[in-house]
Chains A and B, each alone.
Chain A
Amino acid sequence: MNGHLSAVTLNALIDGQLAAEELRVAKEHLDRCPSCTSDALEYALLKNTVARNGQRHTMPAGFEAKIRSQISAHQAAAASSDKSAGPRTGTQRNMALAGWAAAAALLLSVGGAVVVEQRARLADATAMQTASLAAEVVDQHVATLANSQPQVVSSDRHTVKPWFQGKIPFSFNLPEPLPQDTKLDGANLAYLYGHPAAQLLYSIGRHRVSVFLTERTNSTQTMKTQERAGYHLVSFSTADLDAVAISDVDPARLAELVRSIEQAQNGSH
């Protein structure tokens, strides 16, 4: 290094990350080395310019409000599932002082407003849950694309289905005749929203498809068909299962596969 400060030391110096002793040594060196002083000056200028130019992307108008409402919708949904909400005694006391008639009127109007607000929040919470589930599905599908091998590699439904026995708390059927140019590649044990899921892997031509099957829940996470991050998502529910399929294939062909899987569930268990 010809006795000069290393690039790492120079960078740590201008980032204020050198320990006291290292800083003393570096300063001593800078006092007698114009070359390193020049470098340090340049790095400092570069850092300042990057800091200035790096603040390039500003949030669109209303974005913070959107996030804020999503947060409160999530918290409202969490609070409504937690049934330990206590009464608002202070408000009740004031209403009593104002008289029964006024209190009743107030209760009616406040009650109405609360119902409307709760409905709006519930709608928000449902929309957010759906978005959140979709995000999880996209994440898992993309992660699968990056991995080379499924946990069970087989095009035989009689191999794939039994593989899940003891791994998931539900059963499902796989269709035998598949739509044209479609084949079963294998499956993974996955988790959606913390619940075990069977991730079935299909190919339609060169396009990969993931179909996530989970045990039917009471929560209504009906997704139907939607597009997200360039992928199409199609969902359906049977009496026992919730399912969501994802792929970048033509939506009509994805829907065809999903239909055949849905029909298979109505067959024998």
Chain B
Amino acid sequence: MTLLPWKRAERQPEASPSTFEDLALPLLPALYNVAGWLTRNSGDAEDLVQEAVLKALKGFAGFEQGTNFKAWIFRILRNTYLTSRSGLAARRTVALEDELDERGEVLYLEGAIDRQTPELNLLRLADQEAVMQAMEKLPPPLLEVVLLCDVEEMKYKEIASVLEVPIGTVMSRIARARAQLRRSLEEGQRQSKGRNA
């Protein structure tokens, strides 16, 4: 039985959710969070997100519908950050080697970390404050890759698109970022042991 088919047709959504607001506004908290981590300052984070959103809005006509909007707008946020004063300062102070050896493994990484028992690791990782401090010590290029991967749950391919680097570079940066986090946590643990002894 067909009842009022015209009415049902009228209720169909007009189009897929592709207006700028539909796509951008749900991402604001995530953009603000990453901006906050990168700038370390709420005022700068607000400015950064505003500028990125305005740039994205102006360039939205050039955005290819159906492609990854999240990666696209995060790339704009990041490029806006990189041309900001703090972004330039961060780039000047950090040297990154993204080289992998011929087998696709990060150079110099193996052996940098002592293999420990899971029990010790569990104890160490339970200290969230220590993890926070370790994250704050990460240089911006390593911090952003960890944020995009772990917090934003982006795939390596998406992260590569945001950072405009090859996937291999993403992989090596993630490995290096986590190795540095582990190192910072271990140092923190050693220092607190020293104080308690």
Q: Are A43 and B149 in contact (CB under 8 A)?
A: no
Which of A131-139, A179-187, A232-240, A255-263 lies at the binding interface? A131-139
Chain A residue numbers with a CB within 8 Å of B42 are 57, 60
Contacts of A25 in B (CB 8 A): none
Contact segment of A8-16, A83-91, A98-106, A166-174: A8-16
B33 part of interface (Cβ distance < 8 Å): yes
* Stretch from B1-9, B10-18, B65-73, B99-107 forming part of the interface with A: B99-107
Tell which of A142-150, A152-160, A215-223 binds the partner: A142-150
A186, chain B: closest CB distance, angstroms: 20
Q: A38-B118, A143-B83 are contacts. A132–B54 as well, Cβ < 8 Å?
A: yes
Interface residues in B114-146 by Cβ distance below 8 A to A read 115-118, 121-122, 125, 128, 131-132, 135, 146
Task: Return the chain A residue nearest B138 by Cβ.
Answer: A50
**From A11, A41, A145, contact of B121 by CB (8 A):** A41
In A15-38, the 8 Å CB interface with B consists of 15, 17, 35, 38
Among candidates B44, B54, B80, B175, residue contacting A74 with C-beta atoms closer than 8 Å:
B54
Distance in angstroms from A65 CB to nearest chain B CB is 10
Q: Is A45 an interface residue (CB 8 A)?
A: yes
Task: Say whether A42 contacts B54, CB under 8 Å.
Answer: no
Asked if A252 CB lies within 8 Å of chain B CBs, one says: no
Q: Is A97 an interface residue (CB 8 A)?
A: no
For A134, give the chain B residue with the smallest CB separation.
Answer: B51
Contacts of A63 in B (CB 8 A): 28, 32, 46, 49
Query: Residues 146-170 of chain B: 1 if any A CB is under 8 Å from the residue's CB, otherwise 0?
Result: 1101110101100000000000000
| Complex CA–CA separation, A10 to B172 (angstroms) | 11
Verify B33–A54 contact, CB threshold 8 A.
yes
User: Which residue of A is nearest B143, CB measured?
Assistant: A54
Q: Are A58 and B32 in contact (CB under 8 A)?
A: yes
**A interface, how many residues as a size bin?**
35 or more
Q: B131 to nearest A CB, angstroms?
A: 5
Q: How far is the CB of B166 from chain A (nearest CB, A)?
A: 13
Chain B residue numbers with a CB within 8 Å of A114 are: none
B193 within 8 A of A: no
Closest to B152 in A: A54
Chain B contact residues, majority secondary structure = helix
**Known contacts A8-B105, A67-B28, A74-B57; A54/B128 CB under 8 A:** no
- Chain B residues closer than 8 Å to A10, beta-carbon distance: 175
Nearest Cβ on chain A to B30's Cβ, whole angstroms: 9
The distance from the CB of A189 to the nearest CB of chain B, in whole angstroms, is: 18
- B122 pairs with A68, CB closer than 8 A: no
A57 with B32: CB separation less than 8 A: yes
B146 x A54 contact (CB < 8 A): yes
Asked if residues A45 and B175 are in contact (CB atoms below 8 Å), the reply is: no
B76 is an interface residue with CB less than 8 A from chain A: no
Q: Please, how many angstroms separate the alpha-carbon atoms of A188 and B121 in the complex?
A: 55
Q: How far is the CA of A53 from the CA of B147 in the complex (A)?
A: 10
| A128-B54 CB under 8 A given contacts A6-B103, A53-B132 | yes
Do residues A46 and B125 form an inter-chain contact, with CB atoms below 8 A? yes
A39 at interface, CB cutoff 8 A: yes
Q: In the complex, what residue of chain B is closest to A47 when comparing beta carbons?
A: B150
CB distance from B89 to the nearest CB of A (A): 10
Closest Cβ–Cβ distance, residue B170 to chain A (whole Å): 9
In the complex where A15-B174, A71-B57, A146-B88 touch, is A57 in contact with B28 (Cβ < 8 A)? no
* Given A51-B151, A64-B25, A56-B36 contact (CB < 8 Å): yes
B77 an interface residue at 8 Å Cβ cutoff? no
Are A135 and B54 touching (Cβ within 8 A)? yes
Contact: A1 with B54, CB < 8 Å? no
Indicate if the CB atoms of B105 and A67 lie closer than 8 Å.
no
A234 to B41, CA, bound (A): 26
Interface assignment of B109: CB less than 8 Å from any CB of chain A:
yes
> A229 and B85: CB pair below 8 A?
yes
Residues of B contacting A66 with CB < 8 Å?
A: 50
Knowing that A51-B150, A63-B49 are A-B contacts, what are 4 other residue pairs whose CB atoms are under 8 Å apart, sorted by A's residue number?
A7-B178, A51-B153, A55-B33, A67-B25
Some 22 contacts from A to B, beta carbons below 8 A apart, are A7-B179, A8-B100, A15-B149, A38-B117, A42-B182, A46-B181, A47-B149, A52-B128, A53-B128, A55-B33, A56-B33, A56-B37, A58-B33, A59-B28, A60-B46, A67-B50, A71-B53, A74-B54, A138-B84, A142-B84, A146-B88, A229-B44
